Structure 1
Amino acid sequence: MKKLPHYQAGVAVVTALLLTTLAITIVASLFWQQQVQVRSIENQRLQLQKKWVLRGALDWARLILREDGRGSNVDHLKEAWATPLAETRLDEYVENGRADTEASDATLSGQITDAQSRFNINNLSTDGVINPKEVIAFERLLTNIKLDPSLAAATATAVANSQTKKTTAPSGPSIVTSAASASSVADTSTATVTNTTDASKSASNTGQASTDAIPEVQFLRFTQIDDVLSVPGFTSDMLLKLRDFVTVLPHATPINVNTASAEVLSARIAALSLSDAAAIIASRDRAEFFGLTDFKQRFPDKLTDVSANDLSFATNYFIVAGKIKLGRSTLNFSALIERIKIDTKIIWIREL
């Protein structure tokens, strides 16, 4: 057999190495694409499983609130709904694709909070009309948590601008009581029609637009506490302080005395100092308040100006916050649940 020249043998070796490298690269690329596809499918499955766990968690919360509504007319912090759920493993309830011999990493933790234990931003205005009493209460709250109280008026204005304003229907024509009046009205009407016709012709000739009023700009409604950042003066650091004391509910609501903090109680009731509010909390820890009469009997000298519309001893809105961990994936969520008697409804769900 004839030997190849040395230079030809070298070219053959280099060619073989290049082909081998190319083959390895192609195979590695195929394996990489397959790995990406597998991970993508796995991530989609984890997301779907988290959604189902979230749905189950909210159904569980609604069940707890319904049962609480059946057995009690007041809401306080000693009830079952107020007990936090520590991180709980869901091995028996969630199948996350592991082998039978391996432990699941699925866990759920959460807390139900009385939304009416906080100051409701939508109390500041109703149908676009600012409520001065609520503005003063919000000023006191901002003072209690060491923030600028002047921001209360700016917030009220922003809330009012975001609400739909009620319009009153125009009154009808007055009744004519005499012939002379009728004649006068007829003459005036004729003159008005003539002037209107002339004005219409003039506008048509000059190409002017119609005289319809331009509608006001409608700002987006406040739906979450983060919306206060649209008010000039608020910062993200201030928002962190507000979260535990302020909320945004669909409409104006009273404060639940059985769950509100000292800062909120002191802001809601003008005659209360922070130390007085702390005394009220100590009293309710021993025995919850069953109504306004019971509340006034315990603190008669502090509640002379309190209205039944300002305070409540039960609640219709609850915030459910929780965390779902499934393998390497985590989902933090928050939801607002409305409860009317024993009927519950989810108002919104947010993934954090």
Structure 2
Amino acid sequence: MTRPLRQTGAALLTAMLTVALVASLASAALWQQWRSVEVEAAERARVQSLWVLTGALDWGRLILREDARSGGPDSLSEPWAVPLEEARLSTFLAADKNNTANSDTSASQAFLSGLISDLQARLNVTNLVDNGKVSEPALQAFAKLFEQLGLPPAELTMLAENLRQALDTRPENDAASLAPLLPQRVDQLVWLGLSPASLAILRPYITLLPVRTPVNLNTASVTVLFACIPSLDMALAQRLVSARQTVPFRTLAAVTEQIGQLTVPLNEAQQSVNSRFFEVQGRLRLDQNVVEEHSVVQRDGLEVKTLWRDRGASASPISPPTISP
């Protein structure tokens, strides 16, 4: 009786091992299949997001082109400055009121939002250097901004000097090899001596553009107005913001008339009522995935060209610009 019992136990053990092996193989095959499906779905969502956000960028460029066609100053009361609140993508794809998308389609589950903001509503870091030298007017504007925000003046001095060295590409410059890299994005200004904490505070008020640009007095915040206009105080800056909400300034002379005679007159190199550089933000929410794209465009006449595009995941909705300090 002992041998049959041993044989039965061995057979049972073998069967259990076989079942465990088959279950492990089946689980591995199921996991591989699930992984392949998830990778394919993620790639499909990425491609769809690229198409939609590219279309949103083209839409923003079209709005800016039509705005240029109408002429006049650039202000926050124009159509390009109105943010696009989150809306179902199928509402944009419907040909007419009778063409409704199926609720099960991917278009009906995708939501799009966007915003166009004026980059000349901020102080341009590139203005700090003019013809290979630190620009005194721009340095004074940034000094007022640093003082208003409570930032260390030493960082501004280091920022201006390092930017001057980074822009100095003359063959006779022996220190060119030791100069810091020239930043292309605002985030990269830490290369020039700004601390991450200071950069976080400065971000709403500064930009980094490829050429020197004046500040648009129709779109700048109170803090930027205070910084970019010499001898202007915060009370007068707030008065300018209140006045332009009724009627945008069409000329610099209209601004001067509003605030009175200044110690240093306004000039087109530092102040303006028009803009050429804009940021187009697009945000697409597809199921649980959220993708946000930031693009900088340059408008010259009716030509609106894209300078660069950055895309990445986002966890927060797009916030419209404010005119508060």
- Judge same fold: TM > 0.5, yes or no: yes
- Whether 1:319 aligns to 2:279 is yes
Alpha-carbon RMSD across the aligned residues, in angstroms, is 2.4
Structure 2 CA distance for partners of 1:285 and 1:101, relative to 1, 3 Å: closer
Q: Write out per-residue CA displacement over residues 142-177 of structure 1, whole angstroms, 9 at most, x where no aligned residue.
A: 112222233222111111111134579xxxxxxxxx
Hey, what does 2:221 align to over in structure 1?
A: 261
Hey, what does 1:229 align to over in structure 2?
A: 190
Comparing 340-349 with 222-231, greater Cα deviation is found at 222-231
Q: Which amino acid in the other structure matches residue 123 of structure 2?
A: F
Structure 2 CA distance for partners of 1:248 and 1:42, relative to 1, 3 Å: same
Question: What CA distance in whole angstroms lies between the structure 2 residues aligned with 1:90 and 1:299?
Answer: 45
**What are the ranges of 5 or more consecutive residues in structure 2 without an aligned counterpart?**
94-100, 313-325
- Which of 95, 100, 105 is 2:109 aligned to? 105
Question: What CA distance in whole angstroms lies between the structure 2 residues aligned with 1:222 and 1:321?
Answer: 21
Q: Which amino acid in the other structure matches residue 242 of structure 1?
A: L
Q: Write out per-residue CA displacement over residues 294-328 of structure 1, whole angstroms, 9 at most, x where no aligned residue.
A: 22222232365222211111100001123211122
Check conservation: 2:180, 2:192, Cα contact below 8 A: no
Question: What CA distance in whole angstroms lies between the structure 2 residues aligned with 1:214 and 1:158?
Answer: 12
Hey, what does 1:149 align to over in structure 2?
A: 153
Across the two proteins, how many residue pairs are aligned to each other? 303
**What are the ranges of 5 or more consecutive residues in structure 1 without an aligned counterpart?**
169-212
Comparing 314-323 with 302-311, greater Cα deviation is found at 302-311
Q: Which amino acid in the other structure matches residue 122 of structure 1?
A: T
Q: Which amino acid in the other structure matches residue 299 of structure 2?
A: R
Aligned-partner SS, 2:112: strand
TM-score (norm 1): 0.80
Hey, what does 1:163 align to over in structure 2?
A: 167
Hey, what does 1:128 align to over in structure 2?
A: 132
Question: What CA distance in whole angstroms lies between the structure 2 residues aligned with 1:157 and 1:72?
Answer: 38
Hey, what does 1:80 align to over in structure 2?
A: 79
Rg larger for: 1
TM-score (norm 2): 0.87
Question: What CA distance in whole angstroms lies between the structure 2 residues aligned with 1:49 and 1:303?
Answer: 55
Structure 2 CA distance for partners of 1:265 and 1:215, relative to 1, 3 Å: closer
Identity of aligned residues (%): 30
Aligned-partner SS, 1:86: strand
Q: Which amino acid in the other structure matches residue 10 of structure 2?
A: V
Check conservation: 1:50, 1:331, Cα contact below 8 A: yes
- Which of 302, 307, 330 is 2:290 aligned to? 330
Hey, what does 2:61 align to over in structure 1?
A: 62
Comparing 103-112 with 41-50, greater Cα deviation is found at 103-112
Question: What CA distance in whole angstroms lies between the structure 2 residues aligned with 1:214 and 1:306?
Answer: 37
Check conservation: 1:126, 1:163, Cα contact below 8 A: no
Q: By how many angstroms is 1:252 displaced?
A: 0.6
Question: What CA distance in whole angstroms lies between the structure 1 residues aligned with 2:306 and 2:233?
Answer: 36
Q: By how many angstroms is 1:37 displaced?
A: 0.5
Structure 2 CA distance for partners of 1:303 and 1:318, relative to 1, 3 Å: farther
The ranges of structure 1 where at least 4 consecutive aligned residues each deviate by more than 6 angstroms after the TM superposition are: none
Check conservation: 1:229, 1:235, Cα contact below 8 A: yes
Comparing 213-222 with 300-309, greater Cα deviation is found at 213-222
Check conservation: 1:256, 1:311, Cα contact below 8 A: yes
Aligned-partner SS, 2:104: coil
Hey, what does 2:231 align to over in structure 1?
A: 271
